Amino acid sequence: MRKILFLTMLLLIVNTSRGSFFDGGYVGGGKTYVEQGTVDNQVLVWDNTTKTYVPGLILSGLTLNSPIVSGNFTWLSEDDNYAILDASTTDGSVAQKGISIGDILRIFSGTTDISYLSLTPAGNLISFGNTTSNQTVNFETYGLTTFNGNITIDRLANSADAVITFDGSSNDPEALTYESDNNKFNFSTDLDVTGNLLVSGDLNVNNNVRIGDSTAPTALLHLAAGTTSLAPLKLTAGPLLTTPSSGSIEYYGNKTYITNKDLQKVIDRTSDVKLTTTTVANTTDETEVYEASVPANSWVAGNVLKMLISGTLSNKVGSSGHTVTVKVYVGTTEAATITSTEAKFTDVCWHISGYNIVRDIGSTGHMAYHLEMTIDGDNSNVTCNVVEIDTTGLLDITVTATWASADDANIFTCNMGLMEYKN
C-alpha cells in the first residue's frame, strides 16, 4: 500500500515538471500549448510572461472563425518578411495578405512587390496601389462615402494624366482629366452647375456660351432674357482704363462708355418716346402734351439731357390773342417758358428742342438750359437760363400748351416727343 502511494506521488511530480495535459493541449512552464494532434506539433502557445500568443512552429495557416476582439489586436513579425494571414482566395489564385515592418496592414496580390493597400501610421497614410503597376481599386458601395480630410491624386512618376471616371445608372461613363502639362481640367461631356461656379483664375471657353437657361447658344456669348427683377447684363462701376482699348465697354461715374478706337465715349440713351397725338384746341386750359419719367435722385452733376417734341399748329389770326405758350416743368418747378410768334399759321409744322446740363445736385441743385421753338421753318423763339432744381425730389419732365384765347381755329397738336440722355 505504501509502495503504491509513493509511486503515485512520484508520477504527479514528474507530470508537474513537464506540464499538465488537457484536451487539445497542455500547460507547463508558464505557457499554454495548443496542439495539433501531438506535443511536437504545437500550433499556438500562450506566453504568460509577455501575455501574447506566439506560434510554436511555422504555421501553414491560421483561420479565425468570426473572432470577437474586445481590445487591441496586434500582430508581431519576428523578421523583415511579411506575416502571412491568408494565402488563398476563393477563385484559387495565390494572394498574400500580410503585415509589413513600419505598416499597420498591407494587402498584396501575386507577389509582395505589388501592394494593393497599405496603412502606414508614420504619415497617417492610407495607400492604394503603387507607382510600378497599373492597378484598379473599386469601392463597392451604394451608400455615402465621406472623406473628412483632403484627397490628393498624384500620378508621381507615371507620365499619364490623372483621370477620374464617373458612371451612374445609365452606364455611360464620363471622365474628368487633369492635364498636368497644360495645368487645366478637361470634361468629356457637358458640365451642369446648379449652384454658384467660382473661378479665381482666367476662364477660357473654346465654344459658344449661353447664360441664363439651357437653350443652345447662337453667339459666342448669348444671354437669356431678364426678368422684372433681374437684368440680363449689369456692369459694376469702376475706374476707366488708363489706356483705352478698342471694343471695351465700361461703367464709371453713372455713365456707360464704349471705345470705338482710341477714345472712350459715353453711350447716348433714348427714352420716353411719345406714340400718341395730343390735341389742344378751342380752350385756354393748360394741357399736358408730353411727359418723361425721371426718378428722384437719378441725376448727377454733368448729366446732359436733350428733349425734342413736334407737331402742327393753326391759329385764327396773327396776333397776341392767338398765340400758344409752351411750358417745361421739372417736377413741380416751372423751368422754362416759350411762346409762339404773332403770325398767322395754317396747319404748319413746329418743333421745340431743348438742351439741359445738370450743374450740381441736391435740394438746391441747378440746371442750365437752352430752349428753342421753330414754327414753319423760320419763325422761332429762343429762351435760356439757369434754374434751381431740387434733384432729391420729383424730376419728371412735363410739357404743357396753353392758348391765349379759345377759338375753333386755334389748334395745337403734339405728335411726337422723346428724351435723350447723352451720358
At the topology level, CATH places domain 271-421 in Jelly Rolls (2.60.120)
**Residue 99, pLDDT score:** 46
**Residue 118, pLDDT score:** 62
Query: What's the predicted TM-score (pTM) here?
Result: 0.55
Burial class (CB in 10 A: 0-12, 13-18, 19+), 174: middle
In tens, the pLDDT along 243-302 reads 988 889 999 988 888 888 778 888 888 899 999 999 999 999 999 999 999 999 989 999
Query: In Å, how far are 10, 93, 202, 309, 417 from 272, measured between CA atoms?
Result: 126, 85, 41, 11, 8
Residue found under cell 438746391? 364
**Residue 174, pLDDT score:** 79
Query: In Å, how far are 300, 368, 369, 380, 389 from 304, measured between CA atoms?
Result: 10, 10, 10, 23, 15
Nearest to 134 by CA among 149, 156, 151: 156
192 vs 189: CA distance, rounded Å: 9
Amino acid identity at 90: T
- Using 70 as the pLDDT threshold, list the residues of the chain that sit under it: 1-48, 50-142, 155-159, 169-170
DSSP H/E element including 15: helix 2-18
**Residue 364, pLDDT score:** 96
Question: Do 272 and 399 contact (CB within 8 A), yes or no?
Answer: no
Question: Do 251 and 266 contact (CB within 8 A), yes or no?
Answer: no
Angle at alpha carbon of residue 36, lines to 34 and 38, rounded to 5°? 95
**Residue 405, pLDDT score:** 96
Sign of CA dihedral 230, 233, 237, 238: positive
Number of CB atoms found within 10 A of residue 100's CB: 19
Length of the chain: 423
Q: Where are the domains of the chain?
A: 24-63+76-128, 238-267, 271-421
Sign of CA dihedral 82, 85, 87, 90: negative
324 vs 316: CA distance, rounded Å: 12
Q: Please, which residues have CB within 8 angstroms of residue 417's CB and are 6 or more apart in sequence?
A: 272, 273, 274, 289, 290, 292, 307, 308, 309, 310, 399
